[in-house]
Structure 1
């Protein structure tokens, strides 16, 4: 199911220093629910530094083979949904074999990874977090300002009630924890949030969607404007933080307070969304801070 941490685990592996040193080429492809084989091929080539505008399918495949020939490569196909894997078989014909190369697939559907050639022994099923690990994750986010220490036992009781409703799903815990990070440590404030969370869960019975909806509802108006600007981009589009910050500044979304520069205000907007898990940071090392 969504929110268990499949993509997060794959990102950890992908960005590990030993992995970076082991492979000559590392390629990350976000596979949306609506895609074409040409889009996937172009995404692979963009990872390899080739824009490939206007090339037909055969030429795209030839270029992929050319770039990877003789190289040890890692390809991550993230969030695959389609049970018709003919597109994958087509791409596989162009991938050089050997050289200890690897492919990681993340999906919610077991049949998909089986059809794509995943070996049973190598299929990993992320599990729900335990009660203790759920609370640890939550408090490290919600009480980040105090090093993960809860201010008092009363808030801890309410916090644990909120965490229990996340049912061990890391994304739900991170989203609601990021929201509580911006709440004052007052019991009544926390109780009101816990009540709203209960109401959201009663309507949708999905802790991930309920936590994200609550997180959005709690946003100040200027952050809602920043968040809604993402609707102009296609699904799974990677956008640099620099581009977002300058856009929000130009639109007047980033409020200027306390003598801050416009860039600082825009950066605060980005942090406000990413801390609440409403923006997925895919690469913290890229020179333009994706």
Structure 2
């Protein structure tokens, strides 16, 4: 039987041009796109940030990654990037949706450097204690943590800043966190429309201002170029600031 609740991971895959979305997901995604057609471009910008930041982290010697709130590993995801830039590097994908995890495990079949498991970004201690995680991730060594477009599904009542604080306690010195987050900087009506369109979905969108996103990284050392829009982020220190693109997603890399 077809599910009745739109799934945010399959909606994301739909924006990227994937084929995992079911009719209920496509319908919900089209409601979002009717409010903000630029969301599809914003999602592509976020995926571009993912590729650049994972490549940079690997170049810094990070060879184990924890991708929390990963969604479906379909459209050029972390393990695919690492296979090119750091063969043998390991990644654990984590999602709180059992349907997404089941499908991800199927998609990752035969890949011994990647796994996907059920877990909640709000319960990181339990996640890091899972035997399947420790098979691929050694928390006594630096870890690259990816929080891409995930904390914008964590409401203020669940204290999203505590997620990053907990990561600092759980990871070894030298660990890095890449964060992207939906921006509430442009049209207020557009932001409200996006949030409203996600009310029926499996995760509720919470867009935040630059100041609010910076608070999520309190206690971390934000690395150059700082908190910028996803289309602008680059690891090249001398690169001029690029065009902000859709300006719908903030992005940063920080030392935990």
**Class of the TM-score when normalised by the shorter of the 2 chains:** under 0.3
Structure with the bigger RCO (C-alpha within 8 Å, sep 6+) is 2
Structure that is richer in helix per residue = 1
TM-score normalised to structure 1 length: 0.25
* Structure whose alpha-carbon radius of gyration is higher: 1
Q: Tell me which protein shows more strand as a share of its residues.
A: 2
TM norm structure 2: 0.27
